[in-house]
Amino acid sequence: MKVGFIGLGHMGAAMAANLVQAGHEVTVYNRSADKRRALIERGAREATRVADACRGEVVITMLADDNAVSEVVFGHDGLLATLAPQAIHVSMSTISVALCKRLGSAHAANGQRFVAAPVFGRPDMAAAAKLFIVPAGDARTIASCKPLFDAMGQKTWPIGAEPSQANLVKLSGNFLIAALIEALGEAIALVGKAGVDRLAYVDLLASTMFPAPSYRIYGELIATGKFEPAAFAAPLGAKDIRLTLSAAESLNVPMPLASLLRDRFVRLAAQGGHELDWAAIGGLAAQDAGEGQLPPVSIHTTG
Amino acid sequence: MKVGFIGLGHMGAAMAANLVQAGHEVTVYNRSADKRRALIERGAREATRVADACRGEVVITMLADDNAVSEVVFGHDGLLATLAPQAIHVSMSTISVALCKRLGSAHAANGQRFVAAPVFGRPDMAAAAKLFIVPAGDARTIASCKPLFDAMGQKTWPIGAEPSQANLVKLSGNFLIAALIEALGEAIALVGKAGVDRLAYVDLLASTMFPAPSYRIYGELIATGKFEPAAFAAPLGAKDIRLTLSAAESLNVPMPLASLLRDRFVRLAAQGGHELDWAAIGGLAAQDAGEGQLPPVSIHTTG
Amino acid sequence: MKVGFIGLGHMGAAMAANLVQAGHEVTVYNRSADKRRALIERGAREATRVADACRGEVVITMLADDNAVSEVVFGHDGLLATLAPQAIHVSMSTISVALCKRLGSAHAANGQRFVAAPVFGRPDMAAAAKLFIVPAGDARTIASCKPLFDAMGQKTWPIGAEPSQANLVKLSGNFLIAALIEALGEAIALVGKAGVDRLAYVDLLASTMFPAPSYRIYGELIATGKFEPAAFAAPLGAKDIRLTLSAAESLNVPMPLASLLRDRFVRLAAQGGHELDWAAIGGLAAQDAGEGQLPPVSIHTTG
Amino acid sequence: MKVGFIGLGHMGAAMAANLVQAGHEVTVYNRSADKRRALIERGAREATRVADACRGEVVITMLADDNAVSEVVFGHDGLLATLAPQAIHVSMSTISVALCKRLGSAHAANGQRFVAAPVFGRPDMAAAAKLFIVPAGDARTIASCKPLFDAMGQKTWPIGAEPSQANLVKLSGNFLIAALIEALGEAIALVGKAGVDRLAYVDLLASTMFPAPSYRIYGELIATGKFEPAAFAAPLGAKDIRLTLSAAESLNVPMPLASLLRDRFVRLAAQGGHELDWAAIGGLAAQDAGEGQLPPVSIHTTG
């Protein structure tokens, strides 16, 4: 298929490369030209403007956040202005439910088609074309994109007819991971303070009752306290919990555990943890338990 | 009236002195003899054993906790064994609902009468006979004790026919104060970080919307970070929240704010805050906000 | 002074009337003309457009929320466009810290002066000119407005040099009241389930340890379960907690109690409680405790 | 080996049968005789008193709670009184850290050996000898018991030299499952209210990012709202969270997520959910979101 790809970060670059590899005609765009170059060497065509990536049947966006997506869609010579009638915008970024709804309406008003198809998986899974892809939208439009999804992921799970449902599912997935980090953080703080070997404990959990990779990966990060370099930085996790709570508020769904996670991320930010992996919120329970040097309780003076 | 008084701490000594002052015949007992002496100088009689304080119409207990009360009541030659039929045990300590129920049953089985009458007020209010006294139990028994309550407090509020109701009300009152401390702690951390003068803020609150002494007293402690010396030590506050949650669990009443307070007290204890005033939990919000030096998030290593 | 007054709701109408009463030349504007009429009968002049209320030395805004304030300030022929150089905009509404900062910058850029002066007090206090007024901004500008504040309130407490500090203080005040509602809700659920008379309990609290009007007012609402008609509707309380958390997040201050309150308001909204007084979040603890008929736990079926 | 087995519930009966099957000489005791009979048919010997199960090298206890264990150990003719010197008590029940420490001291004082070896796994895993066994204690004592562990489980993970560490690890494991239930409950309430098919969502999660059986099992229970019959009843889950928090308090480890879970269990109990599976706490988020008929907020009247 003839497809544009916008956004060549860790995830996007790997995904675009797999599309090229599968034989699709891929035109890539990224704001910084150097990231485009690596893809061109692998056989992609270069777009120097957003509009140049919008000439095919499909254009995929894989960007950092709502702002970045809004800009390439609604901006001057953006997707909305340049995509052909019936052409498909596949939004694979983790964005808010509200923006997703706005994208759907705007494309529909322009006679363009729109699918949200966020992904589960880390950069190594993207590189290995092992992502899980969760599209939502019109079933026939999703079917049209199937060859692309097959090139990027190990499995595609359509989850609904309304594109924003896919974004909500993606956000909820990140909420579940953050919840798991908090739970592990508290459990490790508890058994660790009782003298149990933290890494042996994580190995036990991940080998027995919790054989999901997340338990081992995050458990080991927390047990060793190694939160740098970040595979997924704390501010991104904070953003996703915020978007989850925002969607939940619109739907009138109280999520007390999500609120707890939000407070954890705010506290981590207050400690200057912007560069840390989001697993670092799992280190706060041990901090609460008084391990390490702690600040005095009275920490300011009013003169 | 002829009355025994057991427990001569900060509160008890002041209360017993007011009974003497009002002309009652008061026999005092305290484990350490030196505390008895001050009262004797003011006109009280000395009991060198618990039993010697149990010869009158009424014996009042004003002790630190469940253990202390259990010991003087159920112990060898304790109240239960020595109090005359129809004599009244007035329990003024802050104890658990469960112990209060046990006391009621035991005294009833022995033909003795029992009233719970916990107090609201700090030591200075006890000294000035300005306590608020909250009795519960048989109305006629409470009425019999009225002269004693009048000598110790500014007002008596009977709150129920079941003695343990008074203990629950007392615990709930301390929960409300701890809740106020947490709320002030968060509010002061917020406005303080935005550059508002903390003491001016407390003065504003206490002079306008919140003219209860607690707002000024605890607000100033938090604003200045002066948690020593303790007027009411953190472990006592922790105990009362624990007893509140325990009573709430028996009644199947979820209290999420009480749970938050419990976590705060556990955290304060983890920081070694046993000597601090319970207002120190109000300093934790500022600590969370990163004011002062904070410990690194990764605080242990597994080798 | 020659002053414009925009926003004639329960609070604004009373405040404007007091300005007229004090002899100021007041021009009032409200979107619905009927609310203007009552003021005109008391001696105010009528503005039929926002701009007509902006001819004096000062214009006061007392509006429902950020949107309403943004519209009259930034809209066509709004305050920004029509206020004379050096004229003062006094923003008395409860708005976000972010909007307040934006107002300050915009007025400064236009050579106009700006003060934030939110108020503490209910409509009856506004009518009696008994409000507490909390201005922040340039000290001389505040001093210029003093005659107006004196006409509307019982006391003026300048709280800082940066206008948004006053908004933060106002939001924090509403947070403290909501915290008090939650605490009372839990305490009343607890003692009520133990058979203590709820109104007697509230009377005890408000007469002894918590002699602030809020304890009696909100305690009685919770004890009787009478949440209609609303003096301050739940969605307004929800908004203020949301603005508090938003400001706290910008400042990196975790506020777990505010998060709990947020969840309470979301839950109340899910129950359709939009018309209820915000005190209704204080009824949720009793609901949690299983008082009244409860819904079955399994509440949906997937076919 | 010659071994006694006390406690023939769902788990214990299956474990004892596997010991018989592996050729050990097993004497079984259970308070109700009918449960003993099934084992006798499979080749076990019958003990009609606790003491009769204490004649071998090892006696295993697999009982419901602290009380049951205390009774068979400290009671008249219990383990403590009848076990031979150097004989081993293997405690496989989920009990408190405090009781485990008491057992260790008491056996040591009597010259008996003691190991805690709680298990992870449900009754079907017990029947299939697929349990995960987590012993802690003296390494040589654990090694002596290895043949027994091998007959009952798929893998044995020694976790420490202090028996109570194993109990803490077991409790923390149940905490992690309860945390997962709460997280799934909130996520399912969220996406379900947005119209996503709940079972499809659970299938997606369990097939992609969370391939641990617990996600599928508990996700399906929550998605369908089928909490009866209980595989693990809510009061047992409530007990384990309470024991976790109690151990955490002793160690000064605040666990806010565990506190949230505690409140959930108390609320479930208030709704009369004693017969439900502990997964039912995962239905409370949907209840909060207003799905199903909800009780009015004002639920009592004070006359």
Cα–Cα dist C169/C176, whole Å: 10
Nearest to D251 among A162, A194, A201 (CB): A194
pLDDT of residue B16: 98
Asked if B300 lies within 8 A of A284 by C-beta distance, the reply is no
Q: Which residues are D61's β-sheet partners?
A: D6, D91
Cα–Cα dist C128/B141, whole Å: 47
Strands D153-156 and D131-133 come out as parallel
- Chain B residue numbers with beta carbons less than 8 Å from the beta carbon of C255 are 186, 189-190, 285
pLDDT of residue A263: 98
In this structure, what is the dihedral angle of CA atoms C195, C177, C72, C86, given to the nearest 10 degrees?
160
D50 CB-near residues (< 8 Å, 6+ apart)? D6, D29, D72, D75, D77, D78, D79, D82
- Chain A residue numbers with beta carbons less than 8 Å from the beta carbon of B226 are 298
Tokens 């989001």 locate to A278
Nearest alpha-carbon partner for C219 in C230, C203, C236, C235: C203
Nearest alpha-carbon partner for D189 in A248, C290, A135: A248
B291 CB-near residues (< 8 Å, 6+ apart)? A299, A300, B189, B192, B193
pLDDT of residue D291: 85
Q: Can you give the length of chain C in residues?
A: 303
What residue of B is the nearest CA neighbor of C187? B172
pLDDT of residue A258: 98
Nearest to B256 among D249, D253, D263 (CB): D263
Min distance B281 CA to chain C CA atoms (Å): 13
Strands A131-133 and A119-120 come out as antiparallel
Asked if B210 lies within 8 A of C214 by C-beta distance, the reply is yes
What residue of D is the nearest CA neighbor of B263? D254
Nearest to C159 among B190, B196, B290 (CB): B196
Tokens 């599976």 locate to D277
pLDDT of residue B292: 53
Asked if A301 lies within 8 A of B272 by C-beta distance, the reply is no
What residue of B is the nearest CA neighbor of D272? B252
Min distance C208 CA to chain B CA atoms (Å): 7
> Tell me, what amino acid is at B219?
G
Phi-psi region of C234 (alpha: psi -120 to 50; beta: other; left: phi over 0): alpha
Helix axes A163-193, D198-207, angle to 10 degrees: 50
CATH class of C167-288: mainly alpha
Strands C45-46 and C2-6 come out as unpaired
Min distance D180 CA to chain B CA atoms (Å): 19
Neighbours, chain B (3 or more CB pairs < 8 A): A, C, D
pLDDT at A233 over 80: yes
pLDDT at A302 over 50: no
One digit per residue, pLDDT tens: chain B, 303 residues? Answer: 999 999 999 899 999 999 999 999 999 999 988 999 999 999 999 999 999 999 999 999 999 999 999 999 999 999 999 999 999 999 999 999 999 999 999 999 999 999 999 999 988 999 999 999 999 999 999 999 999 999 999 999 999 999 999 999 999 999 999 999 999 999 999 999 999 999 999 999 999 999 999 999 999 999 999 999 998 999 999 999 999 999 999 999 999 999 999 999 999 999 999 999 999 999 999 999 998 543 444 334 333
C277 CB-near residues (< 8 Å, 6+ apart)? C221, C227, C228, C229, C230, C231, C232, C233, C234
- Chain C residue numbers with beta carbons less than 8 Å from the beta carbon of B165 are 191, 194-196
* D167-196: average pLDDT: 98
Min distance B296 CA to chain A CA atoms (Å): 8
Phi-psi region of C61 (alpha: psi -120 to 50; beta: other; left: phi over 0): beta
pLDDT of residue D143: 97
Which residue among the candidates B2, B170, B226, B239 is catalytic per the annotation?
A: B170
Alpha helices in chain C, H assignment, sequence order:
10-21, 33-41, 66-74, 79-82, 97-109, 123-127, 139-152, 163-193, 198-207, 213-224, 234-250, 256-270, 284-288
pLDDT at D238 over 50: yes
Q: Which residues are C2's β-sheet partners?
A: C25
What residue of C is the nearest CA neighbor of D301? C224
A27 CB-near residues (< 8 Å, 6+ apart)? A3, A4, A5, A44, A45, A46, A47, A52, A53, A55, A56
Asked if C256 lies within 8 A of A263 by C-beta distance, the reply is yes
Asked if B263 lies within 8 A of D270 by C-beta distance, the reply is no
CA-atom Rg of chain C in angstroms: 21
In this structure, what is the dihedral angle of CA atoms B15, B17, B23, B27, given to the nearest 10 degrees?
90
Cα–Cα dist C137/C91, whole Å: 11
Min distance B188 CA to chain A CA atoms (Å): 11
pLDDT of residue C209: 93
B61 phi and psi, to 5 degrees?
A: -115, 135
B211 CB-near residues (< 8 Å, 6+ apart)? C211, C212
Q: What's the pLDDT tens digit per position in D132-143?
A: 999 999 999 999
Q: What's the pLDDT tens digit per position in B188-215?
A: 999 999 999 999 999 999 999 999 999 9
pLDDT of residue C295: 39
Joined together, the tokens standing for residue B277 give 């005033």
What residue of C is the nearest CA neighbor of D225? C298
* A128-137: average pLDDT: 97
Cα–Cα dist A271/B271, whole Å: 18
Q: Divide the 303 residues of chain C into consecutive groups of 10 and give the mean pLDDT of each group.
A: 96 97 97 91 95 96 96 96 97 97 97 97 93 97 98 96 98 98 98 97 96 96 94 94 97 98 97 94 96 45 36
Nearest alpha-carbon partner for B192 in B285, B276, B121, B107: B285
pLDDT at A298 over 80: no
Asked if A267 lies within 8 A of B276 by C-beta distance, the reply is no
Asked if B212 lies within 8 A of C208 by C-beta distance, the reply is no
Nearest alpha-carbon partner for D89 in D109, D98, A204: D109
Cα–Cα dist B191/B285, whole Å: 12
Cα–Cα dist D250/D94, whole Å: 18
* D269-275: average pLDDT: 93
Alpha helices in chain B, H assignment, sequence order:
10-21, 33-41, 66-74, 79-82, 97-109, 123-127, 139-152, 163-193, 198-207, 213-224, 234-250, 256-270, 284-288
Cα–Cα dist D160/D169, whole Å: 10
Going from N- to C-terminal start, the domains of chain B cover 2-161, 167-288
Nearest alpha-carbon partner for B222 in B250, B256, B185: B185
pLDDT of residue C207: 94
Cα–Cα dist A42/A39, whole Å: 5
Contact status, residue A134 vs residue A120, Cβ threshold 8 Å: yes
Neighbours, chain D (3 or more CB pairs < 8 A): A, B, C
B33 CB-near residues (< 8 Å, 6+ apart)? B48
DSSP letters for D187-212:
HHHHHHHTT--HHHHHHHHHHTT--S
CATH 3.40.50.720 fits B2-161, yes or no: yes
ipTM over 0.90: yes
Cα–Cα dist C92/C117, whole Å: 5
pLDDT of residue C298: 37
pLDDT of residue C180: 98
Q: What's the pLDDT tens digit per position in A105-130?
A: 999 999 999 999 999 998 899 999 99
Q: Which residues of C55-73 are buried (b: 16+ CB within 10 A; e: fewer)?
A: bbbbbbbbbebbebbbebb
B257, B263, B264, B265: best to mutate for the D interface, most D CBs within 10 A: B263
pLDDT of residue C105: 97
Active site residue D170: yes
Average pLDDT of chain A to the nearest whole number: 94
Which residue among the candidates C101, C130, C155, C170 is catalytic per the annotation?
A: C170
CA geometry: angle C173, C174, C177, nearest 5 deg? 95
Contact status, residue B6 vs residue B61, Cβ threshold 8 Å: yes
